[in-house]
A = this chain, B = another copy of it.
């Protein structure tokens, strides 16, 4: 598996517009094979901050999603709203609670 957690900072006043784009992306990913988790969150300590937490079957499934036309359109829509990206961590999920049956060891 392949996990990603990172922060987007929206331009001032643009956070809710960026949230809408990211939640729309999450909806598109429902149909995509290999996406186990895509959670969009606000940041309690940053009124312009948005956290996105993703878990994929593997890194290739994540890469493939970035080339999907609907996701490309959302990246195009979201990019002008983003002031900065930070605090990115990549991780290799081994197991736990909340992943699809069969995804965990």
Q: Complex formed: what's the CA distance from A93 to B55 in Å? A: 15
Residues of chain A having any CB pair with chain B under 8 Å: 1, 3, 5, 7, 19, 23, 26-27, 29-30, 35-45, 51, 53, 55, 87, 89-99
Q: How far is the CB of A50 from chain B (nearest CB, A)?
A: 9
Closest B residue, CB atoms, query A7: B89
Listed by A's residue number, 10 A-B pairs whose Cβ atoms lie within 8 Å are A3-B41, A23-B95, A26-B97, A30-B97, A35-B98, A37-B37, A37-B98, A39-B95, A40-B94, A42-B94
Q: How many of these chains are in the complex?
A: 2
Interface residues of A, dominant DSSP = strand
Determine whether the beta carbon of A42 is less than 8 Å from that of B92. Answer: yes
Chain B residues within an 8 Å CB radius of A3: 39, 41, 51, 53
Q: Complex formed: what's the CA distance from A98 to B27 in Å? A: 11
